[in-house]
């Protein structure tokens, strides 16, 4: 097995419990460690559209002939999954139905523990049984749901498998609740499943972290275990990390004010965030700021009024997006932005959300010029708020670059694609499918830009001909932007 696990060590982090610290120096883009999942399952909502082995989204999948539940790309994926699926397969057949993702994942974890123990390699720093479950901190409603899952687990668990008591089943379900990590599809843009990665669970949170986590399906040789080398995470440095320095990732998106981030962290992970950015409310003023007109700030009451209005419109917009009513989404965005732009700063998070959704939906509907103008404003705002090597900033810049290219703004488009590529080389690495796609795009736009600079008229003629022959299909259907919160949120 290939691993980097000698580059970090487990230690008692002051005020945080266990944590991981670096044992040597790292620079931006360096991989601190790679870890395969202990166990993982596809989300309930994706079971028919995602391969249960490699987690790729596919139009046509082949169903397991035994349980009629698991779906695979082909025989190769089915064979690769059999070790993990065989007990599940028999259990689903005997049970007569399929339990939810929590119960399915808990069962996979316990089958693996029963067979191999809670530590399955020399590089695993902590056993699954030692992970925190936070059951004692759970609110009443969550405890009720946990009890239902325990009850369903006991119905589902085969009599032929080793018996587990309610306490140990509850513990594993609690571990999934607060340590489950989203597994993405092959391009890394959509969360399609959940898995347990014991070493990753030891990395503490900071709202302005020195590391980021990415699922990389692209580098198959990196880890080779009995269970699915393609479902693995990479912990990557965002900047210089010295030996002995604690490593952190962010469990939530920084594009919220500190109070909201603290509430999210308390509700999902049961701790009070004391990081410097929360303690000082860093950039909170920018995220709720009004604009300045001719050197005069817009009055606070006007900013508050438009902020309240924006929140209401965001809820309307979300509903229309979920309903797939994209023309209604555009109408809401335009209406709201008309009120926001004269009053709110370009860093106000509600305006940024409107720009983001407007640019995404307008691109999908092929209104590229208008989409590009909003995308550019969004990226300008993000640059003032995010860490320069933040993955969400890289993905947003990539999307804005592609939108500008689609609109025929080759110079700005190429510039943005280059900036996005530089960020994604650090956050995702050169072998990640998105980085590879972006590199191809960068080379293409560079070639187009040279052609444009030599003869603008000929360039536009060639572009028109190319677009007529090959209609644009670059934009996927709008979804929530990227996977900003990599750790599973309820």
Residue 153 pLDDT > 90:
yes
Residue 3 pLDDT > 70:
no
pLDDT band at 219; cut points 50, 70, 90: very low
Return the percentage of the chain with pLDDT > 90, whole number: 82
234/311 same-domain check = no
The token duo for 459 is 């360039």
pLDDT band at 224; cut points 50, 70, 90: very low
240/287 same-domain check = no
Q: Which of 179, 175, 154 has its CA nearest to residue 165?
A: 154
Express each pLDDT in 77-104 by its tens digit.
999 999 999 999 999 999 999 999 999 9
51/101 same-domain check = yes
Residue 152 pLDDT > 60:
yes
Q: Which of 424, 415, 361 has its CA nearest to residue 392?
A: 424
Total domains in the chain come to: 2
Write down the pLDDT at residue 457: 84
Asked whether residue 490 is domain-assigned, the answer is: no
Asked whether residue 189 is domain-assigned, the answer is: yes
27/144 same-domain check = yes
Around Cβ 49, how many Cβ atoms within 10 Å? 15
Asked whether residue 365 is domain-assigned, the answer is: yes
Asked whether residue 268 is domain-assigned, the answer is: no
Asked whether residue 482 is domain-assigned, the answer is: no
234/383 same-domain check = no
> What is the C-alpha separation between 418 and 100, in angstroms, rounded?
42
The token duo for 283 is 């950039």
pLDDT band at 403; cut points 50, 70, 90: very high
Express each pLDDT in 418-451 by its tens digit.
999 999 999 999 999 899 999 999 999 999 999 9
320/430 same-domain check = yes
pLDDT band at 488; cut points 50, 70, 90: very low
Express each pLDDT in 228-277 by its tens digit.
455 789 999 999 999 999 999 999 999 999 999 999 999 999 999 999 99
The token duo for 280 is 């000082």
Task: Report the CATH number that the domain containing residue 106 is assigned in CATH.
Answer: 2.170.270.10
Task: Report the CATH number that the domain containing residue 406 is assigned in CATH.
Answer: 1.25.40.10
Cβ–Cβ under 8 Å, residues 123 and 194: no
Asked whether residue 208 is domain-assigned, the answer is: yes
Query: What domain range includes position 227?
Result: 5-254
DSSP string, 21-82: EESS-B-TT-EEEEEE-SEEEE-GGGTTTB-TTT--B-SS-EEPTTTS--EESSHHHHHHHH
Q: Which runs of E-coded beta strand occur in 50-198?
A: 62-63, 71-72, 181-184, 191-196
> What is the C-alpha separation between 248 and 205, in angstroms, rounded?
5
209/289 same-domain check = no
342/237 same-domain check = no
Cβ–Cβ under 8 Å, residues 427 and 389: yes
What's the distance, Cα to Cα, between the start and end of the chain in Å?
Answer: 34
- Report CA-CA distances (Å) from 304 to 262, 347, 357, 361, 416: 22, 15, 22, 27, 33
Residue with tokens 């700021």: 289
Beta 232-237 vs 191-196: how paired, if at all?
unpaired
Average pLDDT, the chain: 90
60/183 same-domain check = yes
Beta 296-297 vs 292-293: how paired, if at all?
antiparallel
Helix (H) or strand (E) holding 425: helix 410-427
Residue 184: phi, psi to the nearest 5?
A: -95, 170
Cβ–Cβ under 8 Å, residues 189 and 162: no
Cβ–Cβ under 8 Å, residues 429 and 29: yes
Asked whether residue 259 is domain-assigned, the answer is: no
Q: Which residues contact 155 (CB under 8 A, 6 or more apart)?
A: 95
212/355 same-domain check = no
Asked whether residue 388 is domain-assigned, the answer is: yes
Strand partners, 444: none
């Amino acid at each position: 097995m290939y691993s980097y696990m000698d580059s970090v060590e487990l230690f008692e982090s002051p005020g945080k419990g266990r944590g991981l610290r670096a044992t040597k120096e790292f620079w931006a883009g360096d991989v601190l460690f790679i870890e395969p999942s202990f166990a993982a399952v596809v989300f309930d909502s994706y079971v028919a559209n995602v391969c249960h082995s490699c987690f790729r989204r596919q139009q046509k999948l082949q169903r397991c002939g035994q349980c009629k539940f698991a779906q695979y790309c082909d025989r190769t994926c089915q064979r690769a999954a059999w070790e993990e699926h065989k007990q599940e397969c028999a259990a689903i057949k005997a049970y007569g139905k399929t339990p939810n993702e929590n119960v399915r994942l808990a069962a996979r974890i316990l089958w693996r523990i029963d067979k191999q123990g809670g530590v399955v390699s020399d590089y695993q720093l902590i056993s699954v049984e030692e992970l925190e479950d936070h059951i004692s901190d759970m609110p009443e409603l969550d405890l009720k749901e946990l009890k239902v899952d325990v009850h369903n687990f006991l119905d589902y668990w085969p009599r032929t498998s080793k018996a587990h008591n309610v306490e140990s089943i509850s513990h594993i379900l609690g571990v999934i609740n607060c340590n489950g990590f989203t597994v993405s599809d092959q391009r890394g843009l959509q969360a399609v499943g959940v898995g347990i990665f014991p070493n990753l669970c030891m990395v503490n949170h900071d709202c302005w972290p020195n590391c980021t986590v990415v699922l990389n399906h692209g580098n198959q040789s990196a880890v080779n275990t009995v269970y699915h080398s393609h479902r693995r995470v990479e912990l990557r440095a965002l900047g210089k990390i010295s030996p002995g320095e604690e490593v952190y990732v962010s469990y939530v998106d920084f594009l919220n004010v500190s109070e909201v981030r603290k509430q999210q962290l308390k509700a999902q992970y049961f701790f009070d965030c004391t990081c410097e950015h929360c303690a000082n409310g860093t950039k909170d003023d920018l995220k709720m700021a009004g604009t300045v007109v001719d050197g005069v700030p817009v009055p606070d009451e006007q900013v508050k009024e438009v902020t309240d209005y924006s929140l209401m419109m965001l809820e309307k917009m979300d509903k229309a997006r979920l309903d797939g009513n994209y023309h209604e989404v555009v109408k809401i965005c335009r209406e709201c932005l008309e009120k926001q732009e004269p009053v709110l700063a370009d860093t106000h998070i509600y305006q940024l959300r409107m720009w983001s959704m407007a640019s995404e939906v307008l691109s999908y509907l092929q209104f590229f010029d208008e989409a590009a103008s909003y995308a550019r404003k969004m990226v300008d705002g993000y640059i003032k708020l995010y860490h320069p090597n933040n993955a969400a900033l890289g993905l947003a810049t990539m999307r804005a670059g592609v939108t500008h290219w689609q609109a025929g703004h080759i110079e700005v488009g190429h510039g943005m694609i280059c900036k996005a590529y530089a960020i994604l080389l650090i956050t995702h690495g050169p072998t990640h499918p998105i980085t590879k796609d972006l590199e191809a795009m960068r080379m293409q736009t560079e070639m187009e830009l040279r052609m444009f600079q030599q003869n603008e008229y000929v360039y536009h003629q060639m572009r028109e001909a190319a677009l007529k022959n090959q209609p644009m299909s670059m934009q996927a259907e709008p979804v929530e932007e990227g996977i900003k919160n990599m750790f599973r949120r309820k």
